[in-house]
Chains A and B, each alone.
Chain A
Amino acid sequence: MQNLASPSRLSVLGSERVGPYTMLRLERGDLEPGVPGQFFMLEAPGRLLPRPFSLCLAPPGELAFLVDAIGPGTEALCRLRVGDEIGVLGPLGHGYRLEVERPLLVGGGIGIAPLPYLAEQLGGSPPAILGFRNAEYAEAAALLPGAEVVIDPVLVTELIEPGFDVLACGPEPMLHAVAALCPTAQLAWEAPMACGYGACYGCVVEIDGALKRLCLEGPVLDGVRVGSQAEAVAVA
């Protein structure tokens, strides 16, 4: 983790469409790309709070993030132009453990974001299964050449075969389904986050039966450690 100080000001090098998403490419500046699955807090222009993103790609001198414009903050990030500057803090949290024998990458929707950098760091082209809601979203599968792609109503879990070390990221129901199938899977979770470094206590999820801060414990956790949403609500 970087020493916590004011966010680094990074210039926008490019902003390109990837299916319905935007690939925001920033100069790397003095930041390290970190371990796949770690995240960065990106200043959302005009908004009070930064937004958390895992690193998607790390070409030399760059940090690239896959952004889904789902609200005012992400929309502002997608409107950035080449030469604009934003504050970036990171890498933060705990990423994927890379010492696995038979990796299988599983991603759902915008949850494919950390997988290209993960594939690169695993040293090549590990098998991958990606699920999307429709064909337009599935265009983003181009980020992981060779991946198997399923489109709703087919589920990624229908293609997972036994014997793999699963590393996954995607919507909560998908992660729970993957965890049920592969209890040792490494899963990257998501939660609303104001700070990313344990200050705001906003990102709690039920981990090992108690509400804990996802930014410090995760965002990548072993499958069986996270309770279902229904249980999390019942706990509090």
Chain B
Amino acid sequence: MRILNASGCLDALAAPEVARQLDAFVTKTVTPLPREGNAPPRIAETSHGMLNAIGLANPGRERFLAENLPELRELGIPLWVSVGGFCAGDYAEMCARLDGVEAIELNLSCPNVDEAADSAAEIVAACRQTTALPLYAKLSAAHPDLAEVARAVAAAGAEGLSLINTLRATALDERLQPVLARGSGGLSGPVLKPVALHAVSVCSEATGLPIVGMGGIQTGRDALEFAACGAREIALGTVLFGDPGAPARVRAELAVACADSGVATPEDARTLAKSPETERKVPA
């Protein structure tokens, strides 16, 4: 089971020694034009989680391709590029210009910017026309019928799913005012794990696609639970903030967690979870 970072939770150029602990690095979402992001305050701690409203701060497509991507390649680790936009054409154009990366993650669910006008499936279909690279659709668990969205993006040509993005949320200060300047932000951290496990399980059942599971993973045991729900890979997000050694630590803990659970590999945890004796315990 490979360990990635959640998009936007690590700057590989600022912290290469953290990125090198990963099996692949996922960039912060790149949009067609540069974005400075939202005004501060942008982050807030909550019970068992945190909010962020960074707002897709990024250098924009042209500078990313000309400056950042070549620098990232020098790190010598597989790269996933997270692509964002405001219509299907935005996404498709960026996909057309990417090569030499392992995969493209389509950010279809950022809670901190206005949503793209086109549907997730329309965006995936448009990108499918412009690239042969693997496309992973990053979805929000906030959709009332997530399995249906997963089936639609699978039918449109997605090779895999990234589950889940943060959930839109608000925190108030002592004066009952929003802590974040934007008012709301994306909720992440351990509070998200049960939601994410369910989303992974449901989408795995619905599509059979490879899934990068993320949402509140802090330990190797957490990672194993994602594997049991059908995740092929996992990504670390908020845990990186408090522990830049988390990828190496979680990888070591995962081996121990497998042994403790009597499975040889994380992949076997899925098989165990789906076996007749334990089937009823699967959250799907």
A194 touches B15 (CB 8 A): no
B8 touches A201 (CB 8 A): yes
Task: Give chain B residues whose Cβ lies under 8 Å from the Cβ of A203.
Answer: 40
B249 touches A210 (CB 8 A): no
Task: Give chain A residues whose Cβ lies under 8 Å from the Cβ of B49.
Answer: 48
B39 touches A4 (CB 8 A): no
Contact stretch, chosen from A13-21, A98-106, A133-141, A228-236? A228-236
- Total A residues in contact with B, Cβ cutoff 8 Å: 35
Tell me which residues from 229 to 246 in chain B have a Cβ below 8 Å from any Cβ of chain A: 238, 240-246
Task: Give chain B residues whose Cβ lies under 8 Å from the Cβ of A205.
Answer: 40
Task: Give chain B residues whose Cβ lies under 8 Å from the Cβ of A41.
Answer: 242
Task: Give the contacting residue for A199; candidates B39, B48, B240; CB below 8 A.
Answer: B240
Tell me which residues from 173 to 207 in chain A have a Cβ below 8 Å from any Cβ of chain B: 191-195, 197-205
B251 within 8 A of A: no
B43 touches A202 (CB 8 A): yes
Tell me which residues from 2 to 53 in chain B have a Cβ below 8 Å from any Cβ of chain A: 8-11, 14-15, 17-18, 28, 36-45, 48-50, 52
A197 touches B245 (CB 8 A): no
- With A and B bound together, what is the CA distance between A87 and B239 in angstroms? 14
- Given the contacts A48-B49, A198-B15, A201-B54, A192 and B44 also touching, CB distance less than 8 Å: yes
- Nearest opposing residue in chain B for A204, CB measure: B40
- Given the contacts A192-B44, A198-B14, A43 and B36 also touching, CB distance less than 8 Å: no
A232 touches B48 (CB 8 A): no
Task: Give the contacting residue for B17; candidates A3, A198, A199, A233; CB below 8 A.
Answer: A3
- Nearest opposing residue in chain A for B218, CB measure: A48
Task: Give the contacting residue for A48; candidates B9, B28, B50; CB below 8 A.
Answer: B50
Task: Give chain A residues whose Cβ lies under 8 Å from the Cβ of B10.
Answer: 199
Task: Give chain A residues whose Cβ lies under 8 Å from the Cβ of B242.
Answer: 7, 41, 43, 48-50, 87, 194-195
B44 touches A216 (CB 8 A): no
Task: Give the contacting residue for B9; candidates A3, A4, A6, A200; CB below 8 A.
Answer: A200
Please give the distance in Å from A150's CB to the nearest CB on chain B: 29
B189 within 8 A of A: yes
- With A and B bound together, what is the CA distance between A5 and B44 in angstroms? 24
Q: How large is the interface on B (under 10, 10 to 19, 20 to 34, 35 or more residues)?
A: 35 or more
Please give the distance in Å from A26's CB to the nearest CB on chain B: 17
B42 touches A235 (CB 8 A): no
B132 within 8 A of A: no
- Nearest opposing residue in chain B for A234, CB measure: B39
A192 touches B241 (CB 8 A): no
A89 within 8 A of B: yes
**A interface footprint on B125-156 (CB within 8 Å = 1, 0 otherwise):** 00000000000000000000000000000000
Most B Cβ at <10 Å: residue of A87, A89, A195, A211: A195
Task: Give the contacting residue for B11; candidates A47, A193, A198, A210; CB below 8 A.
Answer: A198
B181 within 8 A of A: yes
- With A and B bound together, what is the CA distance between A69 and B245 in angstroms? 28
**B interface footprint on A198-224 (CB within 8 Å = 1, 0 otherwise):** 111111110000110000100000000
B39 touches A235 (CB 8 A): yes
Task: Give the contacting residue for A5; candidates B36, B181, B190, B245; CB below 8 A.
Answer: B245
Q: Chain B residues in contact with chain A, CB under 8 A?
A: 8-11, 14-15, 17-18, 28, 36-45, 48-50, 52, 54, 57, 181, 189-190, 238, 240-246, 248-249
Could you show 10 A-B contacts with beta carbons less than 8 Å apart? A7-B242, A48-B48, A48-B242, A89-B244, A194-B43, A198-B11, A200-B54, A204-B57, A210-B36, A236-B36
Question: When A and B form their complex, which 10 residue pairs have the shortest distance between CB atoms, in order from nearest?
Answer: A6-B245, A198-B14, A202-B43, A236-B39, A195-B241, A5-B245, A4-B244, A194-B241, A201-B54, A198-B11
